[in-house]
A and B are shown apart, each in its own frame.
Chain A
Amino acid sequence: MAKPTFDTPELKPYQEVPDIPHIEPGAMAHSRPFMAKPEHNESIGYPGELVDNWQEAGVKRLGELVEGSKALRVFLDTCVKCGACTDKCHYFLGTADPKNMPVARQDLLRSVYRRYYTFAGKYFPKLVGAKDFDKEVLDDWYNYFHQCSQCRRCSVFCPYGIDTAEISMAAREVMDSIGVGQKYCNEILGKVHVVGNNLGLPEPALKDTLEGLEEDVEEDTGIPIRFPLDEKGADILLITPSADFFAEPHIDGLIGYAKVFHQAGASWTLSSYASEAANFSMFIGSGANLKKTAQRIRDAAEELGVKRIIVGECGHAWRVAYSFWNTLVGPFDFLDPKYPAPMHIVEYTYDLIQRGVLKLDKEANDHRRITFHDSCNVARASRMGNMPGGQFILPREVLKACANNFYDMPPDTIHEKTFCCGGGGGLLTDDLMELRVKGAMPRMQALKQVVDEYEVNTLVAICAICKTQFAKTLPYYEYPMSMITSLHEVVGDAIQLGSND
């Protein structure tokens, strides 16, 4: 790895009213992810390179998007520039670049929208800050709409709920539509369409991996725990991020799910055709790709004849599954109506614990002093259970049922006010390392508080992106990479295997 050419922010003692940096214009103007190659763009239905009439085409696409989205319409009109959101974005707090203030990020797009689509912007551009869609603006768009993890924290604090994530999705769609794509997202999406998962892991490799896992786990526990693939007639289809098949700490979460299913005596399967929960189409605001990617999962469920679909630990994937699947590829009337479709693995485990199906030994986790990171898309864009805020309660209840030492981070940094890990929204790529490290600062600061006060040594998350991001950024802040742990690893370690046999 190349040496970092930036300084990791210094962590200050946690304070209730945080220090807000003074703005430093241009501080992150150099941050820019690699651009997609023509074949990446074309594989997901976009022009390969910047089209000749890009200004005209981009403005036109923007108009179409606004016409088709109540959110964009309202958000572009109603912002009063009150400034309430300006200190709420982790990227602003970590970089001090004013264009990372949510309202300023919106204004990059709003100024173009105004110029071409509003009376004031057409005739008095200076007055309302309207701007032509020129090369300079396009560059700013590319740089700063790839400094938004679409975490929605700004939306919580805005008096009108203006969600900058919606704006940056639209901006990325406009850019894609004129041939300006981001390599990381577009390359990955291409793989999903062809192979079925982000990693590009084909069926034989996946089969090998799962068989190897079965052997390892049996060696470890002495119990034959299965990792079934493509088993027709299984009750449950598990859709999980492909990172779970592959790397620490994700894979320990997958082992945890398998132990839960084993203990519950459930009949379940993975699918090689739909071996990916992630759906990066959301990050690039592409409706067509969003639907196409989700359709694989419905097709797999029908093909395998399952009765329910359960989704593994992944933040944006849970948003897409919970909030969008029914709309995009529903209705799921072929599934068993007794269960919510889809269901989150945490909902499933929580329910088993409530019913006393899982025998848990909390002491098995006594070496862990745990805190929980609410992932943005779970916290602010979805739900678990049957009451608002269940997405905060269920994972904590599961953790407390599995471990004795649990400590929450400060209240302004959890639940719906949670700080993004710094790597969401399609930014989890090495070419954005500086942004990722600086954007992680507010979360690291909150973590420091519980490390200092309660000697917390375990940071639990339920999102593949969060896990990867923390594994990479914790060391920058001088915490061990091993702190980041899958929720279902904690569950798996507490399960008294064989106790039901």
Chain B
Amino acid sequence: MTDAATAPIERTKGPTRRSIERFFGNRAAMVGLAIFLPILVAIITYDWWWGSGPNEIDLRALNKGPSPEHWLGSDGVGRDVMARLLQGGRVSLIVAVVSVAISTVIGFLVGSFASFGGRVVDASLMRLVDLAMTLPPVIFLLVLASIAGTGITPTILVISLLSWPTLSRMVRARLLELRERDFVVAARGMGAGVPHLLFKHGLPNCIDILVVYATLQVANAILLEAGLSFLGLGIAPPEASWGNMLNLARSTVVLEQYPWQWMFPGAALVLTVLAINFIGDGLRDAFDPRSALN
């Protein structure tokens, strides 16, 4: 009953701990992790345990189906589909992760400038965001991609330029609300400038938005990369990516007679995107204070 200063302090779980526990209690998210982690490990480590490289040519195996030597078969020039699948996954994931990292940083910075930069900066940035959001994404992407060209770096650039506006809005809304909170006013009262407020208070309190957004956006970026590469605008052969492997299926011969050449990358793409979406949804629920009630 008394609030004596010396009263024992009860240890309870913090909000972060509770979020983590909720995440690990989420079945769909765990299924997602169970699918995604093995894929990730295989993609990262394959050159240590898989015999052939993605661009090695085996002239004895042209368009051959799965065999003990080529588990997932081989393609029209005798390259191992398994090796290309794993290398393609590596490229697709690198493109996705790097472009999401870039767009997350852009989104956070734009949101920060808008919320801390005063009325004029805020108004102009938000009109810019409105504009970016009203551009039809497919057309925007195609135009950008044809300007930037093919290859890993241009693809990363194109994808990262497309996805920051939504995030910057969420960050701005969160920071505007945060700015009025008493503990932020207290920091101002102790002399804190914008950098301190942004990195000591803004960033830690946006971390849930950033993590959830980045996770879901990785899945999105994998799909975007696949779409671009499928159209021949993303990653160009001979470099492998899931998208340009699927590109092979545009030939009816491959589509009908050599299904292993497109089915496996297709399956890998679908599984990975699905798994990451499960994880992202799990994270969102875990961070959502309303789900703390159950």
- A and B physically associate: no
Where the two chains meet, the residues of B that have a C-beta atom closer than 8 Å to any C-beta of A are none
Q: Which residues of A contact B (CB under 8 A)?
A: none
